[in-house]
Amino acid sequence: MRNIISVGCLAVLLLGSIANAQLSTGWKSHDLSRPQPKVVTASMKPGGAPSDAIVLFDGTDLSQWVSSNGADPKWKVVDGAMESVPRSGYIVSKQKFGDCQLHVEFATPKTVKGSGQGRGNSGVFLMGEFEVQVLDSFENPTYSDGSAGSIYGQYPPLVNASRKPGEWQTYDIVFKRPRFSEKGELVSAARLTVFHNGVLIQDGNDALGPTNWIRFNDYGKMAGKTEGPLSLQDHGNPVRYRNIWLRNLEETKKPKTEAAVDFELTPADAERLVGQYGGHRIIKSDERLVFMFNGNTPLTMVGLAATKFEFKESAGSLEFEIGDDGKISGMVIRLDAAGVRKANRTN
Ligand code: MG
């Protein structure tokens, strides 16, 4: 005979697939074995690099950069900023990155020249492939998917938060790299979230592929790639950059162990656990045993043995005690979030 818990679980799954299946992180709630967040010291200065950042440009030199052909960069350092030299080519970071948080400050030329795409054009390329457009978009209309803060040719910014020509501006970018299967098929697209001068302008948009002018690219040429350099565009305008730093973002940690499989509990074994235990209760609901913690917080039980359980969603265990008369006499509750508690059976 199938145990009542597994049958109940199947019913819950069937219902859940229609209406309200519980999403999962892979972890139970409040699991004390879940890794602690690493300590990072934030900068005291707005826009300053936190302690775990890789500083790519601090205003002094271009030691972290090369030209796109691998030669020494031809961009120049002026007044604590690096400046694009027209026709010198892109500047490319020596290090490569995948998922990251990027802070970059830029200023388009104070002396306004040209219009549309010809005014203060540069660009920040994640993995060397996905351009967040840099442009003087202050009172300078152009196609919206090519204005400042656009994911070039794909997504216009949500709003135009541009400052005046020559004024320093910021991009704060969260970049998730594309994922590929072992066969090289696209599993998930590159995703970009961008704040321009502190204003949200790209809200987790999935890139169609590497950005391009006039046409779209698919992900074919990137298959299997996990990292690429940060590059900054030379588009013929002397755009300046400063205070460039980046944090590598780690993959989300998965649990060490698989969830336990339901123990085969007979209906009689299940029934004898139902009752009052001080302020707590064991009830049956939809043919499942449920622990009513403090009488009012339902925690679904998963059988490990006839008298030992863990909880479906919360980290911890519940073990029943058997008295000299062979009857259930009490319980020991272990909840990572609430410590160890004992309760005697009271009915
Ligand atoms: Mg550009």
Interval 188-213: pLDDT, tens: 999 999 999 999 999 999 999 999 99
Half-sphere exposure of 43 (CA within 13 A, CB side): 12
Between the CA of 185 and the centroid of ligand 1 the distance, in Å, is 29
Fold adopted by 54-248? Jelly Rolls (2.60.120)
Helix ranges restricted to H, the chain: 4-18, 267-271
Cβ neighbors of 327 (< 8 A, separation 6 or more) are 272, 345
Alpha carbons 56 and 42: distance in angstroms, whole number: 17
Residues with pLDDT less than 70, the chain: 1-19, 256-261
Residues forming a β-bridge with 341: 333
Distance of CA 139 to the CA centre of its chain: 35
Q: What is the pLDDT of residues 299-330, one digit of tens each?
A: 999 999 999 999 999 999 999 999 999 999 99
Between the CA of 167 and the centroid of ligand 1 the distance, in Å, is 18
- Residue 2 has a pLDDT of 40
Between the CA of 134 and the centroid of ligand 1 the distance, in Å, is 6
Between the CA of 247 and the centroid of ligand 1 the distance, in Å, is 23
Between the CA of 99 and the centroid of ligand 1 the distance, in Å, is 22
Between the CA of 21 and the centroid of ligand 1 the distance, in Å, is 44
Helix (H, G, I), strand (E, B) or coil at 318: strand
Structural tokens at position 143: 């196609």
Residue-wise burial string across 68-87, b where 16 or more C-beta atoms lie within 10 A, e elsewhere: beeeebebebeeebbbbeee
Structural tokens at position 242: 């400063």
- Residue 252 has a pLDDT of 78
- Residue 18 has a pLDDT of 59
Between the CA of 248 and the centroid of ligand 1 the distance, in Å, is 24
Listed by start position, the domains of the chain span 3-34+257-344, 54-248
Between the CA of 122 and the centroid of ligand 1 the distance, in Å, is 4
Between the CA of 214 and the centroid of ligand 1 the distance, in Å, is 13
Helix (H, G, I), strand (E, B) or coil at 21: coil
Give the closest residue to 205 by CA, choosing from 223, 190, 222, 185. 190
56 and 245 in contact (C-beta within 8 Å)?
Answer: yes
- Residue 286 has a pLDDT of 84
Cβ neighbors of 60 (< 8 A, separation 6 or more) are 77, 80
Between the CA of 226 and the centroid of ligand 1 the distance, in Å, is 24
Between the CA of 184 and the centroid of ligand 1 the distance, in Å, is 29
Between the CA of 84 and the centroid of ligand 1 the distance, in Å, is 12
| Residue where the block lists tokens 């996990």 | 226
Between the CA of 240 and the centroid of ligand 1 the distance, in Å, is 13
What angle is formed at CA 64 by the lines to CA 133 and CA 62, rounded to 5 degrees?
Answer: 80
Structural tokens at position 161: 């938060």
Structural tokens at position 99: 């998922």
- Residue 254 has a pLDDT of 76
122 and 239 in contact (C-beta within 8 Å)?
Answer: yes
Helix ranges restricted to H, 98-203: none
Residue-wise burial string across 240-264, b where 16 or more C-beta atoms lie within 10 A, e elsewhere: bbbbbbbbeeeeeeeeeeeeeebbe
4 and 283 in contact (C-beta within 8 Å)?
Answer: no
Between the CA of 115 and the centroid of ligand 1 the distance, in Å, is 13
| Residue where the block lists tokens 């690493």 | 38
| Residue where the block lists tokens 């008295």 | 323
- Residue 174 has a pLDDT of 98
Q: Which residues surround ligand 1, an ion (CB under 5 A)?
A: 121, 123, 133, 233
Between the CA of 60 and the centroid of ligand 1 the distance, in Å, is 25
175 and 102 in contact (C-beta within 8 Å)?
Answer: yes
Between the CA of 117 and the centroid of ligand 1 the distance, in Å, is 8
Instruction: Record the pTM.
Output: 0.86
